[in-house]
Amino acid sequence: MYVFKPLPFPNHHRVNDPLWQRLWVTYSDVITMLRSDGIPTDVEMCGGEFSITAELPNGCELAIQASDENGVEALPLDRAELGAWHVMHLCSKGADRHLVYDSARGDQAANGTDVLALMAVVLPHAKAEQDAAHQHLAAGLDRAKTEAPEKADGPELPANVMALLTEHGIEAEAGVDTGTYRIAFDLPDDTYLLCYPLDIDADGVPTAWEVTRQHHHQPGHMQNVVPVDGEPCLFDTVRSHLASALSNASRR
């Protein structure tokens, strides 16, 4: 069973922007429902296209905006000006882009700005995406357990990830746990990351990883168990966990 700690508050530079703060408060009911279900949520303001984003596995997200008879528009600063909700499923690679919810037209038009009706569609959609990702992880780990040699030989972390760890004086250690090859390294807040290569190409280079974060004093407690595709995504994931750990350590 995966156990998640409460999601941390976003820590990017936009959180100090009064406009970002206003949007966060204005749509706090939607944001709170998503976050309480373990879904990382943020407010985007790119080019004035205000939206709520809910992070899904594999680089995908749900983009929640406003909708009316003329089409999709940015979320209004004044909640009273909201006419309907529009939710799109988006992926960074451009694939699998589709409409999830639109209460301005079709069968959902009667729902208007009803938040519970919105969540009745969005939360199960996000849960299905998470379950599918975990099933993919389980299948990959089963293959790794079957195929992994009983020695600490296996793929290395990408060079940019190793450079990031070296910059902060962190050493990575390869090993085998219950027949599964993994690379582990400590973080500065008494947690550590485990990186499991999942899919490996013909050249022996992983094309996907599972990354878990655990606490030294809470064996079995895992947070942010995620599959990541490719080297850039792995680097971003490790960097994010490292930043979180450095922030935690600085508050002690």
Domain identity same for 122 and 164: no
Residue 146 inside a domain? The answer is no
| Residue span of the structural domain in which 107 resides | 13-140
Residue 147 inside a domain? The answer is no
pLDDT tens, 6-47?
567 888 888 999 999 999 999 999 999 998 888 889 999 987
Residue 27 inside a domain? The answer is yes
Domain identity same for 66 and 100: yes
Q: What is the pLDDT of residue 150?
A: 46
CA distances from 175 to 11, 45, 87, 172, 182 (A): 33, 43, 43, 10, 6
Q: Are 98 and 89 in contact (CB under 8 A)?
A: yes
Please give the tally of structural domains in the chain. Answer: 2
Residue 217 inside a domain? The answer is yes
pLDDT tens, 225-244?
667 777 888 898 899 889 88
Phi, psi of 35 (to 5 degrees): -65, -35
Measured distance CA(15)–CA(1) in Å, rounded: 33
Question: What's this model's pTM, rounded to 2 decimal places?
Answer: 0.54
Out of 90, 111, 140, pick the residue that ends a domain: 140
Q: Is residue 131 very low, low, confident or very high in pLDDT (cuts 50, 70, 90)?
A: low
Domain identity same for 129 and 43: yes
